[in-house]
Structure 1
Amino acid sequence: MEGEYALSRSGRLIVTIAIDPRWSRSTYGVSDSTMFAVPSRGLLNSALEPLPRTGIDPKDHTTARRGCGMVSVGFIGLGNMGGPMANHLLDAGHDLTVYDLDPDARTALADAGAEVGERPADVAAKSEVTFLSLPTPDAVRAVVLGDDGVASGIESGSVLVDTTTSTPGTTEDVAEELAERDVTVLGAPVSGGVSGAQDATLTTMVGGDRATYDACLELFSAYADDPYHVGDSPGDGNVVKLLNNYLSFLGMVGASEAVALGERAGLDPNTMVDIFSRSTGRNAAVEDKFPNQIIPGHYDLGFSLALMHKDIKLFSRFADESDAPVLLGDTVSNMIGYAKADLGGEADMSEVYKFMQRWIEPDDD
């Protein structure tokens, strides 16, 4: 028999028991007078294990579970990704405190029912689990470790979940700093784009303490269809995210070059993309981006060439720090850099195709 634990907004422990994987699950509210012990600060400050009726102190048990069920949540960074993710956490019934530099983003969440913090430290002080969704690794360091940052407000026993596309080293450094305050850090970047954030269909790849990950699944499930625990180091999720981005960008650049070359040979792009999506050349670019964005001329994936270039540079930085040559990675990085210089950083990443069309078109002479 397996059990999962979370805390309701009223402070009651929710125990989900799966007796047999073929049976449905039943959920019970259990008070602290029964066979389960309920810690004083949610499930975040002490150990929790099913206890015999003798009432043993849970702190005597060696296996700790930090729980992130129905708890107070903070969210810092309310952009194209963070805004929808924060809204989903609010819709799931969590008490939410938010912060962003953009007053319009703060107002939108306040109108939806969230409390607005005055600064990152204020958000962290009011939250048992604080989420970050920031543009760069440097922004993560500033928001967490800078003046009025998360580190100056977060309480012992809390959890920090960083969903930023960052470097493994940044996440590891932040985790090391906050460990001194008894704060657990999960590196939990996401994939699925703006549409995935809006539809709560993201994939999240999480690195860090497995027990904390297990207890926080309810939070991840508010915005992600597919949560994965990928390793016990907080930076492991960032490794998988950077590798995923590399494969995505490689597919985008490769598909753009192939379709542009086919057009130069006089072939219909719709027919080519349909064939590619049903054949061994299929990838996300030909299955989704070309038929839904590029061929109709929308070019609106909600992810700029500047961000695309930033992320491929983070991949290259990780490869360099790993002392691993990545020849294709360097080529893809250069092509994205050329496209950004040609079209401007604000252009949508799908407009790489426009650049490729001009790159390989026949010379007029």
Structure 2
Amino acid sequence: MSNIRRVAVIGLGSMGGAMASTLHRAGWTVTGFDPSEAARDAAALTGISTTADLKELAGTPYAVLSLPSASVVEATVPTLLAAPGTIAIIDTTTSEPGTSKSMAELAASHDAAFVDAPVSGGRDGAATGSLSAFVGATDSALTAAEPVLEALTGGKYAHIGGPGSGNVVKLLNNVLAAANLVSVGEALGVAKAYGIDPAVAAASISSASGGSKVSDAMYPNWVLSGTHNSGFSLGLMARDAALAIDVARQMGQHPELLAAAASQWQDALAVLGPAADFTEIARTVAPDVTPAGAPDKTSAPDPTSTTDKTSAPDKSPAA
């Protein structure tokens, strides 16, 4: 039994590292991989074995992916399947539905399961095994992946449908969160302009019909405080919002309000850069409500940089 309870965690950034620690505490034998030596060293301090060679993890019974993009998922899965023994690959990356479908087919051809299981709950949820997951999988693949999903979520996962469907709903979740971060910021900016304390306005709204996790927690904890330390990068949220709109258009849908919000995230990305915390969107849509204030547009960072506050490869939705 102990041999079966072996899991590889690919990507030891903010989310992946926390998930690896959760699995370790739950009694799993965990081996982590990340191209970043610093990320591997940080994981090792929590008692996790690490490797700098992904090939060493081929054939591990279970694997959890926490990667920065669908293209990295596509490059990783064949390596993990290169040796027999894989039971299930659980991909927590906010990936693309087409990639998940093709990876599920590839895994099935190796008598293994692949499920897309992008997660929500941020690093705190990852560290406490209380994430929620949007799962796309066949029934048999879900059954194969359940031991790991239970450990990471405490049973808080929803089987959305077949391969790729978890990605679709997670992207919709993130673009809705992205839109809400903009709209709540704009609303609190109006309150501040009228002389109302934004914290009082946010608390009042949060107990009424306009309330949300954004108004109840994200703005008070990370924006109004000026800390902007959620651990999830603006670059990743801007990517997720744009990808959600791309997927919608591929399906012949044209969500105008969500597309407008996604465009505002691209504007913020150009000014703040991908490494900024995702809650710093407030600095562009409502700079008066955060002590951090408006960004200095004269020294805007390069928005094409791949650097962010999570160690690559990583995934994360705090959202």
TM-score category (smaller protein): 0.7 to 0.9
Q: Indicate the residue corresponding to 1:141 in structure 2.
A: 74
Contact 1:160 1:184 in 2 (8 A): yes
Task: Return the alpha-carbon distance in structure 1 between the equivalents of residues 200 and 160 of structure 2.
Answer: 42
Contact 2:24 2:48 in 1 (8 A): yes
Q: Indicate the residue corresponding to 1:77 in structure 2.
A: 11
Unmatched 5+ stretches in structure 2: 294-319
Shift of 1:358: 4.7
Unmatched 5+ stretches in structure 1: 1-7, 12-41, 43-70
- Where relative contact order (Cα < 8 A, 6+ residues apart) is larger, the structure is 2
Task: Return the alpha-carbon distance in structure 1 between the equivalents of residues 168 and 151 of structure 2.
Answer: 23
Shift of 1:333: 0.8
Residue number among 107, 113, 123 corresponding to 2:57 in the alignment: 123
* SS, match of residue 14 in structure 2: coil
* SS, match of residue 81 in structure 1: helix
Residue number among 102, 109, 112 corresponding to 2:46 in the alignment: 112
| Pairing of 1:1-365 with structure 2 (within 5 A) | 8-9=1-2, 71-125=5-59, 127-145=60-78, 149-153=79-83, 155=84, 158-214=87-143, 216-358=145-287
Alpha-carbon distance change, 73 to 282 in structure 1, aligned in 2, over 3 angstroms: same
Task: Return the alpha-carbon distance in structure 2 between the equivalents of residues 232 and 269 of structure 1.
Answer: 40
Shift of 1:107: 2.4
* SS, match of residue 296 in structure 1: coil
Alpha-carbon distance change, 291 to 80 in structure 1, aligned in 2, over 3 angstroms: same
TM-score (norm 1): 0.74
Contact 1:202 1:226 in 2 (8 A): no
Task: Return the alpha-carbon distance in structure 2 between the equivalents of residues 205 and 357 of structure 1.
Answer: 31
Alpha-carbon distance change, 284 to 355 in structure 1, aligned in 2, over 3 angstroms: same
One-letter amino acid of the counterpart of residue 133, structure 1: S
Task: Return the alpha-carbon distance in structure 2 between the equivalents of residues 218 and 185 of structure 1.
Answer: 14
What are the Cα deviations for residues 262-321 of structure 1, in whole angstroms up to 9, with x where unaligned? 212222111110111110000111110111111111111111111111111111121122
Shift of 1:215: 5.1
One-letter amino acid of the counterpart of residue 135, structure 1: P
Alpha-carbon distance change, 227 to 124 in structure 1, aligned in 2, over 3 angstroms: farther
What are the Cα deviations for residues 216-235 of structure 1, in whole angstroms up to 9, with x where unaligned? 43322323245324244121
Contact 1:206 1:227 in 2 (8 A): no
* SS, match of residue 64 in structure 2: strand
Shift of 1:97: 1.7
Contact 1:99 1:106 in 2 (8 A): yes
**Number of aligned positions between the proteins:** 290
Alpha-carbon distance change, 74 to 333 in structure 1, aligned in 2, over 3 angstroms: same
Contact 1:260 1:353 in 2 (8 A): no
Q: Indicate the residue corresponding to 1:62 in structure 2.
A: none
Task: Return the alpha-carbon distance in structure 2 between the equivalents of residues 358 and 91 of structure 1.
Answer: 41
Task: Return the alpha-carbon distance in structure 2 between the equivalents of residues 222 and 103 of structure 1.
Answer: 26
Task: Return the alpha-carbon distance in structure 2 between the equivalents of residues 207 and 143 of structure 1.
Answer: 19
Q: Which has the higher helix share?
A: 2
Shift of 1:100: 0.5
Task: Return the alpha-carbon distance in structure 2 between the equivalents of residues 307 and 100 of structure 1.
Answer: 18
